[in-house]
Every structure is written in structure tokens, then in C-alpha cells.
């Protein structure tokens, strides 16, 4: 199925109006809209298959268990991972916290170093602040240059005692793409583990966990056209086999034996990291989203969105009051900017009055904003259903901003 055969009609919310105007949704980095196939998959699960998994011998329980197993296979295949490497979570934030409790607290001690960067979303920044407080490890923050890219030379010169490098694959604020190979090479030279925040990457580019060579990969389903409350953590098989990664949730399902004085956890990582009843419906919905994108082709998705980003950069550059932030190349999905003399929230509110949904604020990246003295920024972010006409509507919307504020 070619991209052109995929219609905006696949996404029912896009047919709505805002303030009497057709919705132009450009807040996809926050969350994507959901196609009918995802909505239907969730509804059909509850209509036809709802039962608890792995705890019954009746047919409906078997059907629900099969739905979960098939969903896991679809999700891991989409991400180039092995089935056993996937731990289902509610979102990227929960996945990263899982690395804190399941790996960092067991492997970091006083004097060790965790490295992250100014680009990070708070969920990949505050977590490491906290774990350093818990363990006595030191947090080092890689600076970002004027183009919104990591200072790799700084990273390469600050590797002493580093045990973990935690970076975003794609910046949610600027769209900057990380040089993963370079980071992995530096990490392997010093024996450090690598965590990749893939929240902003999975919907925009082909991801192959095995080829990336990282140890942990966190992602959210709701940014991938899947349901909210879905996501996962990919953990490299070696860490699971060595029990270097520990379960961090305990209870039913993840145990092999329970005695009065001790408990034996399940040998199978899939079971060992599934405590309690899983959200089967969300997993089924996420799998449907992965299939939807597979049918389009991630190369096609990437090409389409690259065209939109380039078109937006071209058009925004023609507005004197707009200052584009971040790199002009090597970026994916998003374009952030400042509008001279007008607060980002005011820009977003005026655009909303024209039916245009954008994001404003610090985008959960306060270290980045503080480093560049940005009070707040406005961000437009794209998805497969966006078009150049959406960008044109955005540009027209700035005429209203100019009228309201005289700038």
C-alpha cells in the first residue's frame, strides 16, 4: 500500500473543527492521532477476546493470551528486536524509570559517572539526577552547541568512570538526530552501557534495535499512532541472560515459586518482567499501529516528513519575526522557533483561534532552554497525515499573530 492511498479519513479526529475552522494538527511530538485500525483493534479486543492472560484454562483466556503474544511479536519485529527483549510499559518515562530501578541501582556506586545532555526531555534527565543522589554517582551533562547538536568532542573527553550514557535519539524540542554510532563507539571503549530515548524516533524513522547496538531503548506507543498508556523498554538479550537487568515490579505472573522466606522469579524474561495483569488491549492497539506503519513503509514515512520539515523551514525563514531554532539539516519531525516580542503561549493561543494546534513552552527541556536563555519556544511537529497545505495554513496563521500583536 503506497502512502498516497492512506487518507486523512483514516484518522477520525482530523475531521473535526476548532473554533469553527478545520483542525490543522501540528502537535504530533506531544502525541499522534489514532487511525481507525488502532481504535477498532482495541474495541474488538474488548468485544471478542477480553480475559486475563496466562491464568486460565478456558478458551477466552487462551484467546487473550494469543492476542498478547501476537502483539508482542508485531511490536518487536517493527523495532528490529527479539521478543524476549521487550518489556511492555505505559510510556517512555516508565521505561526509563525501569532502567533506574532494574539496572542503575544494582550497578552504580559512589564515584561512577552517568552522562546525559542538555537536549534531554526531563524524563531522561531528572531520573539520572535522582539515581545519582541515591547511589553517590556523579551526573555529567554534555553541552549543546549553537546549532542544537551535542558537543561530541566534549563527550569524548569526559569518559572517565562513565558507567551509563543516556541520550535522546531525536530531540523533542529541536528535532536534532543523535549520532548513535559515535556514542556507542565511545561507550564501548570505556565499558559503559547506553540508553536511548526513542520516543521521538519511532514514528519518524526505521528503527532496528539490534543494529543500533545500544543496551536499552525506551519508547511510547502514543507517539507511534498507538494508544496512550502503551510503550516499552527494549533490553539487549545479553543483559537479560546475565541477570544484569533486574525486575523492578513484583507480584503475580513474574514468579516461579513463592515460599515464606524467599521467592524465585520466572526464568523467561517475558514473564519475569510482567508483574500483574498486562494491558492487553493497549498492546493490541500498539501492534495495530505498527502494522499500519509497516504497510505504508517507514522509508516512505521518513521521506514524506522530511519534505514537510524542509518546506516548513523554507516558509518560516521568510517571516522576519520568526527565528528558527536548531539545525537546518540532520533533524526529524519538529521545527521550533521564537517569535520576536511575543511569548510562545500567546503565539500558540492565536494560532489555536485559527484551528491550528501547536505546542508552546519549554517542552519538558528546561536545561536546554536555560542554556540558551529561551523563556519559551513554539514547536510545530509533523506526522504522516500532515501536508504542505497544513504548513501553508500555519504560515497564514502568522498573519493573525501579526495583527493581534502588531509585530
DSSP β-ladder status, 216-220 and 231-235: antiparallel
Please choose, from the candidates 299, 126, 292, 286, the residue with its C-alpha nearest in 3D space to the C-alpha of residue 197: 126
Q: Residue 271 contacts by C-beta under 8 Å, 6 or more apart in sequence? A: 54, 253, 254
203 three-state secondary structure: coil
Q: Is residue 28 within a helix (H) or strand (E), and if so which, with residue range?
A: none
Q: Residue 40 contacts by C-beta under 8 Å, 6 or more apart in sequence? A: 288
Please choose, from the candidates 207, 223, 171, 192, the residue with its C-alpha nearest in 3D space to the C-alpha of residue 86: 207
Of 364, 366, 371, 376, the catalytic one is 364
Q: Residue 51 contacts by C-beta under 8 Å, 6 or more apart in sequence? A: 58, 60, 61, 63, 64
Please choose, from the candidates 308, 294, 302, the residue with its C-alpha nearest in 3D space to the C-alpha of residue 382: 308
Active site residue 290: no
74 three-state secondary structure: helix
Taking every pair of Cα atoms in the chain, the longest distance, rounded to a whole number of angstroms, is 73
Residues noted as catalytic: 364
Amino acid at each position: 500500500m503506497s502512502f498516497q492511498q492512506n487518507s486523512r479519513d483514516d484518522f477520525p479526529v482530523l475531521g473535526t473543527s476548532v473554533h469553527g475552522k478545520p483542525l490543522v494538527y501540528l502537535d504530533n511530538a506531544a502525541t499522534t492521532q489514532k487511525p481507525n485500525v488502532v481504535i477498532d483493534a482495541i474495541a474488538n479486543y474488548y468485544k471478542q477476546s477480553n480475559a486475563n492472560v496466562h491464568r486460565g484454562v478456558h478458551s477466552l483466556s487462551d484467546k487473550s493470551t494469543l492476542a498478547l503474544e501476537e502483539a508482542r511479536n508485531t511490536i518487536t519485529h517493527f523495532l528490529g528486536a527479539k521478543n524476549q527483549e521487550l518489556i511492555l510499559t505505559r510510556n517512555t518515562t516508565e521505561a526509563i524509570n525501569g532502567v533506574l530501578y532494574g539496572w542503575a541501582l544494582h550497578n552504580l556506586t559512589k564515584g561512577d559517572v552517568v552522562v546525559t545532555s542538555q537536549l534531554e526531555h526531563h524524563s531522561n534527565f531528572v531520573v539520572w539526577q535522582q539515581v545519582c543522589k541515591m547511589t553517590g554517582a556523579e551526573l555529567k551533562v554534555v553541552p549543546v552547541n549553537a546549532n542544537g547538536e551535542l558537543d561530541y568532542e566534549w563527550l569524548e573527553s569526559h569518559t572517565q568512570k562513565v558507567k551509563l550514557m543516556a541520550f535522546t535519539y531525536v530531540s523533542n524540542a529541536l528535532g536534532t538526530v543523535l549520532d548513535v554510532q559515535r556514542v556507542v563507539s565511545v561507550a564501548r571503549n570505556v565499558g559503559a552501557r547506553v540508553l536511548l530515548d526513542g520516543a521521538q524516533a519511532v514514528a519518524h524513522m526505521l528503527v532496528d534495535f539490534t543494529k543500533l547496538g545500544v543496551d536499552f531503548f525506551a519508547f511510547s506507543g502514543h507517539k507511534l499512532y498507538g494508544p496512550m498508556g502503551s510503550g516499552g523498554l527494549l533490553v539487549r538479550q545479553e543483559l537479560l541472560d546475565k541477570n544484569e537487568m533486574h525486575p523492578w515490579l513484583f507480584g503475580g505472573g513474574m514468579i516461579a515459586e513463592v515460599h515464606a522466606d524467599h521467592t524465585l522469579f520466572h526464568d523467561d524474561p517475558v514473564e519475569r518482567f510482567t508483574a500483574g495483569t498486562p494491558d492487553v488491549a493497549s498492546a493490541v492497539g500498539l501492534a495495530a499501529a505498527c502494522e499500519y506503519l509497516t504497510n505504508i513503509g517507514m522509508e516512505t514515512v521518513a521521506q514524506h516528513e522530511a519534505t514537510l520539515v524542509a518546506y516548513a523551514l523554507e516558509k518560516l525563514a521568510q517571516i522576519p519575526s520568526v527565528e528558527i531554532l536548531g539545525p537546518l539539516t540532520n533533524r526529524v519531525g519538529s521545527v521550533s522557533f521564537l517569535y520576536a516580542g511575543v511569548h510562545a503561549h500567546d503565539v500558540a493561543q492565536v494560532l489555536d483561534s485559527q484551528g491550528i494546534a501547536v505546542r508552546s513552552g519549554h517542552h519538558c527541556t528546561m536545561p536546554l532552554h536555560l542554556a540558551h536563555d529561551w523563556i519559551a519556544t513554539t514547536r510545530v511537529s509533523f506526522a504522516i497525515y500532515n501536508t504542505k497545505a497544513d504548513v501553508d495554513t500555519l504560515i497564514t496563521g502568522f498573519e493573525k499573530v501579526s495583527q493581534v500583536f502588531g509585530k
